[in-house]
Structure 1
C-alpha cells in the first residue's frame, strides 16, 4: 500500500482505504458517514457493556470495520473474526495497520461458518461473497421442508448461475458450536453478516445457544423469510429479542438483536 493511497475516515475515527469500498457504499457514506448507523448504535452499547477481557466473535468480518471499532472502544477485548474471502482478509490486515493496531490484536480465520465442519463451494463476489448452498446442504430434511421445494429449487438455480458467473473456490467450514467448544469460554457478543446464510449458521450453533455460551447475537438478515426464521430459532432457544427491524433505514440488511435470558 503506497503512502499516497486515498483513505476514508468515518465519523467514529475508523479509517479504511477507499479502494476497499464500493461506489454504492461511498454514496451511502455521503449521507451518513458511518457504515450502518442504526446497527452501530446498538453495537456500541453492547460492546461498551462487555466486561474487560470479554470476547467478541465477528462472522463475515469483511474488511474489518466492526472488529476495528470494537478494539477502538474496548482495547482488552478478545476479538475473533471469520472471513473466508482472501481479498477482504488482506484488506482487513491493511486496515489494522492503518488504524495503528497490531495484527496480533485480532484472531483472523479463513474458514466459513456453516452448519457443519466440511469443505464447501464459496462464491467470490466482493461484499456479496457467500457459501453456495444447493441440495447437498447439511440442513435437516425438516428444515428443507419448511423452506419449501419451490424456494429450495430457486436457491439452487441462483447458486448454479452464480457459479457460472463468479469465481467459485473450495473453502473449509466450521460451526459456531465447534468454535465455541475450542474457545473454551463464553462469547459475549456474536455479530453475523453472511449474505443469507444466517439460518445455516444457527443450525450449527444449537449447543452454544442451548448452553448460553453465546450471550448476545447481532444478526444481519437477508430477506423476510430469513429474518422471521432467525427470530423463531433464537426464541426457541430462550433468547429475548431486544430489537428487530426487517428494513432499517440507511443500511441494506435487516437487524435482529437477541440476548440469552
Structure 2
C-alpha cells in the first residue's frame, strides 16, 4: 500500500495526511473490513439505494475531507452531491481527494459554511475532525486552537434551495440536535427523505431520535454505540 495514499476496502482512496493515527488503527482492527465507519457506511448505502429518484440528492453536512461524498458520487454518478463544511482546509483536502478518486473537479458541489441554528456569522474552532462552534468548546482548549470567523446558515435555508434531499448525512460534533430543531418545519414537511445523523453522547442521541419521530420520520436504525465507530447513529426515513 502506498505510503502517501490510503486505500479502503471499498476502493475509495484518501491522502494519508488527511487521516489520524487513531483512525488508521481502527480501520485495521479485527472485524473491520477496512472501512471508515462500517455500520454507518452500510446503512448509508442501503438508505440511498431505497426508492431512489432519477436524480437523487445527497447532502453531506460536515463533509470533512470527503469520504462519504466521494463514495456516493462514485457509486451513483447521476447523484447530485453537496458537500458542506466550515473549514477551508477540509474543503481543500476534499478537492484533492476528488481528483485522487478519478472524479471530475466539478463532480461535487462544495459549500464553505457552518450549518447552525440561524443565519449570520459565528466563531468556529479549527480542531480538525473535532471542529465546532467556539461556544461548544471549553475555554482552555479553545485558546490553544485556531479560531475562525465563518459564515453560518440554518439547515432550512439550505433545504429551501434544493430539490427534495434523498439522503442527508449530518455529523457536526454535537450541534446536530440544535440544528435539526431549528429546521423542524422543513423536516416535518418532508424536505428530506432519509436522515443519517451522527450523535455525540446518549442525551443528544435520544434527543435527535425524538425530534425526528416528532417530524414524521420512522426510525430505521437506532444505535448509540455502534462497533468500530466513535459516535452513535440515528437513521430515519420520512413517512
TM-score (structure 2 length as normaliser): 0.94
Aligned partner of 1:6 in structure 2 is 4
Matching residue of 1:196: 174
Q: Aligned-pair distance for 1:36?
A: 0.4
Q: Quick one: distance in 1 between partners of 2:75 and 2:161?
A: 26
**1:98 maps to what in 2?**
100
Provide the residue aligned with 2:116 in structure 1. 114
Pairing partner for 1:177 from 127, 138, 156: 156
Unaligned residue ranges in structure 2 (runs of 5+): none
Q: 2:154, 2:105 → 1: CA distance?
A: 24
**Aligned counterparts of 1:108 and 1:85: Cα–Cα separation in 2:** 11
Match of 2:62 in 1: 60
SS in structure 2 opposite 1:104?
coil
Give the Cα–Cα distance (whole angstroms) in 2 for the partners of residues 68 and 127 of structure 1.
Answer: 17
Q: Which residue of structure 1 lines up, in the alignment, with residue 18 of structure 2?
A: 20
Query: CA offset at residue 182 of structure 1?
Result: 1.8
Do the aligned residues in 2 keep the contact of 1:5 with 1:17 (CA within 8 Å)?
A: no
Matches for 1:222-233 after TM superposition, within 5 Å:
222-233=200-211
Which residue pairs with 2:86 in the alignment? 84
Distance 2:160 2:36 in 1: 32
Long gaps (5+) in structure 1: 134-154
Q: Distance in 2 between matches of 1:207 and 1:187?
A: 15
What is the SS of the residue equivalent to 1:162? helix
8 Å CA contact 1:47, 1:73 repeated in 2: no
2:147 matched to which residue of 1?
168
Q: Which residue of 2 aligns with 1:29?
A: 27
Alpha-carbon distance between aligned partners in 1 of 2:88 and 2:138, rounded to the nearest angstrom: 20
1:216 lines up with 2:194 in the alignment: yes
Who wins on radius of gyration, i.e. which is larger?
1
- Dislocated runs of 4+, deviation >4 Å: none
1:165-187 per-position Cα deviation (integer Å, ceiling 9, x unaligned)? 2111110111111011122x101
- For these two proteins, the number of residue pairs brought into alignment is 234
Q: Give the number of the structure whose residues are more often strand, by fraction.
A: 2
- CA 1:71–1:206 in structure 2 vs 1: closer, same or farther (change >3 Å)? same
Whether 1:207 and 2:185 are equivalent positions in the alignment is: yes
Provide the rounded CA distance (Å) in 2 between the counterparts of 1:30 and 1:259: 32
> Matched residue of 2:128: which SS?
coil
Instruction: Give CA deviations for 1:207-241 in whole Å, capped at 9, x if unaligned.
Output: 22121011110000001110011011111111111
1:48 corresponds to 2:46: no
Is 1:242 aligned to residue 220 of structure 2?
yes
**What's the C-alpha RMSD, in Å, of the aligned pairs?**
1.3
2-structure distance, mates of 1:178, 1:207: 11
CA deviation after TM superposition for structure 1 residue 30, in Å: 1.4
Structure 1 residues 34-78: Cα deviation after superposition (integer angstroms, max 9, x where no partner):
000011110111122322311110000001000011011110001
